[in-house]
């Protein structure tokens, strides 16, 4: 975090400053901010967030022992550390993030880019961060820090030397992206796609469109909206950019995109294509598996080149990325039995993309195996969308469809209804049962996709399979 006095922090978050004997209002702190006492570092700021099962106030002493010099709390605690008492620590965290980014802008040349979309946010964030790191200090989210706590914690890692802040904005309800993006007023905003992810929380696809467009509305007047020309709903956000005074830069496969990909070829070692930026072309070999990640790479290139990074530098840095993130199209196992662990998150769109990738990278003498779990947060659309996945798996010629968990059972039933009834589709209640089956069933030449939402827990099944067949 940038250096701020205790008095400055207290004013920024509207709290009551209660000093320890060693501090004054002008004492300066600049350590890392965290809500987890186990991650506290010397000189850090501990935010005592109440949780569903634990209360951060019970861990203030542990945070102090680890080196915390300030605690932000909702009630005073008996600990030998300066405390700022606020009404709501989550709101205080957001207020502090807003102030830190504002101070960093005033003190230096900080540029902020926000990324949203129903799928691909984390991959795009990592790709863009890899490009920008070559230009200067870049702060980006750890894992999927994109909610009301994770996004501010990322913002609070900004220092006086930071040149780029990459923020990932997720949401499960309208208004959340507006609140998060409003903390930083981005210079650039990337919108990847409007799909069915979280549709249950939003109330449908049109409500999802309005929620994702909140990022475009939050842009600075001289900012730029990086929009996916291939998604009609994203393309429909262009007039919103005009309303706030931002320009539009298109990326995608469409002929009118300023940042475009052609000649896309998918293989087991990644995806190759030709990228064209404002009329200049270069070949790209993206090691991250899946044709759908080409769009994420184009989004990253569009943002970086809008800020003056050359296409050559973008390509060179992207080609060093081996995986998007753990549990996201992560190759495991061996050449004998290849496991693709993509079970951190799932939506109808990402499930379809992963299944198509499995079909594309499996040769005629190899066998396609899909281990599938439930997609969460679909609400009233859950049954229909799980049916669609089962149907698609059959149409793609997946030879073994292994469905795990009662919430995903409709995938199995639909696959059977579509003809995968002769042991081609199987169902198991638990991941342990599926593991026992797969260890005995998988053979040389199998290519295995493990795909589900995080809540289904199949990412750990993927890890076990990867280790067993390594």
pLDDT in tens, 113-160: 999 998 889 899 999 999 999 999 999 998 777 889 999 999 999 999
pTM of the model: 0.88
How far apart CA 179 and CA 153 sit, in angstroms, is 14
Cα dihedral angle (274, 277, 278, 280), rounded to 10 degrees? -50
Q: Among positive and negative, which fits the CA dihedral 41, 44, 48, 51?
A: negative
How far apart CA 415 and CA 392 sit, in angstroms, is 8
How far apart CA 44 and CA 82 sit, in angstroms, is 12
Say whether 308 counts as a known binding-site residue.
no
Q: Which of 89, 121, 150 is the last residue of a domain?
A: 89
The tokens of 198 are what? 């979280």
Say whether 296 counts as a known binding-site residue.
no
Q: How confident is the model at residue 199 (pLDDT cuts 50, 70, 90)?
A: low
**Are 60 and 154 found together in one domain?**
no
Specify if 103 maps to a domain. Answer: no
Question: What mean pLDDT is predicted for residues 50-75?
Answer: 94
Cα dihedral angle (56, 61, 67, 68), rounded to 10 degrees? 50
What average pLDDT does the structure give for the chain?
93
pLDDT of residue 227: 98
Between residues 190 and 268, which one has the greater pLDDT?
190
Say whether 119 counts as a known binding-site residue.
yes
CATH number assigned to the domain comprising residue 62: 3.40.1390.10
Structurally, the chain folds into a number of domains equal to 3
**Are 129 and 242 found together in one domain?**
yes
**Are 309 and 334 found together in one domain?**
no
**Are 124 and 68 found together in one domain?**
no
**Are 337 and 299 found together in one domain?**
no
**Are 118 and 190 found together in one domain?**
yes
Say whether 118 counts as a known binding-site residue.
yes
CATH number assigned to the domain comprising residue 200: 3.40.1190.10
**Are 265 and 335 found together in one domain?**
no
Q: How confident is the model at residue 196 (pLDDT cuts 50, 70, 90)?
A: low
**Are 125 and 226 found together in one domain?**
yes
Specify if 218 maps to a domain. Answer: yes
The tokens of 203 are what? 């109330």
Distance, CA of 200 to chain centre: 19
Q: Decide if pLDDT at 201 tops 80.
A: no
pLDDT of residue 435: 97
Specify if 325 maps to a domain. Answer: no
Say whether 117 counts as a known binding-site residue.
yes
Q: Which of 34, 59, 89 is the last residue of a domain?
A: 89
Q: Decide if pLDDT at 200 tops 60.
A: no
**Are 113 and 261 found together in one domain?**
yes
**Are 201 and 310 found together in one domain?**
yes
**Are 260 and 133 found together in one domain?**
yes
Say whether 334 counts as a known binding-site residue.
no
How far apart CA 432 and CA 435 sit, in angstroms, is 5
Q: Which domain holds residue 414?
A: 330-468
Distance, CA of 301 to chain centre: 17
């Amino acid at each position: 975090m940038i250096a701020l006095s205790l008095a400055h922090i207290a004013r920024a978050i509207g709290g009551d400053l209660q000093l320890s004997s060693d501090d004054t209002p002008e004492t300066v702190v600049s350590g890392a901010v965290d809500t987890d006492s186990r991650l506290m570092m010397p000189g850090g700021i501990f935010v005592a967030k109440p949780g569903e099962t634990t209360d951060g106030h019970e861990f203030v002493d542990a945070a102090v022992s680890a080196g915390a010099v300030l605690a932000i709390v909702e009630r005073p605690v008996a600990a030998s550390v300066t405390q700022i008492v606020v009404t709501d620590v989550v709101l205080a965290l957001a207020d502090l993030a807003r102030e830190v980014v504002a101070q960093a802008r005033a003190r230096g040349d900080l540029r902020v880019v926000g990324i949203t979309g129903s799928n691909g946010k984390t991959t795009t964030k990592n790709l863009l961060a890899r490009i920008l790191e070559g230009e200067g200090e870049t702060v980006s989210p750890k894992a999927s820090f994109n909610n009301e706590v994770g996004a501010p914690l990322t913002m609070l890692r900004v220092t006086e030397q930071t040149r780029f802040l990459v923020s990932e904005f997720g949401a499960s309800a309208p208004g959340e992206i507006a609140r998060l993006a409003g903390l930083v007023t981005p210079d650039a905003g990337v919108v990847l796609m409007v799909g069915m992810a979280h549709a249950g929380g939003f109330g449908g696809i049109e409500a999802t469109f309005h929620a994702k467009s909140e990022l475009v509305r939050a842009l600075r007047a001289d900012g730029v909206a990086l929009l996916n020309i291939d998604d009609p709903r994203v393309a429909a956000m262009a007039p919103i950019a005009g309303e706030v005074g931002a320009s539009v830069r298109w990326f995608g496969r469409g002929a009118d995109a300023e940042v475009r990909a052609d000649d896309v070829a998918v293989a087991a070692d990644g995806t190759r294509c030709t990228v064209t930026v404002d009329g200049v072309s270069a070949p790209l070999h993206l090691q991250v598996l899946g044709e759908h990640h080409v769009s994420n790479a184009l989004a990253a290139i569009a943002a970086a080149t809008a800020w003056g990074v050359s296409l050559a530098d973008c390509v060179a840095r992207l080609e060093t990325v081996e995986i998007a993130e753990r549990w996201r199209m992560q190759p495991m196992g061996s050449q004998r039995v290849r496991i693709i662990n993509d079970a951190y998150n799932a939506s109808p769109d990402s499930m379809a993309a992963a299944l198509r990738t499995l079909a594309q990278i499996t040769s005629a003498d190899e066998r396609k195996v899909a281990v599938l779990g439930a997609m969460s947060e679909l609400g009233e659309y859950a049954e229909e969308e799980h049916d669609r996945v089962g149907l698609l798996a059959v149409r793609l010629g997946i030879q073994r469809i292994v469905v795990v968990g009662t919430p995903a059972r409709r995938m199995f039933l639909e696959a059977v209804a579509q003809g995968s009834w002769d042991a081609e589709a199987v169902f198991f209640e638990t991941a342990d049962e599926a593991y026992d089956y797969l260890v005995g069933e998988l053979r040389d030449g199998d290519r295995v996709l493990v795909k589900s939402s995080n809540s289904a827990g199949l990412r750990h099944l993927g890890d076990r399979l990867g280790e067993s067949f390594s």
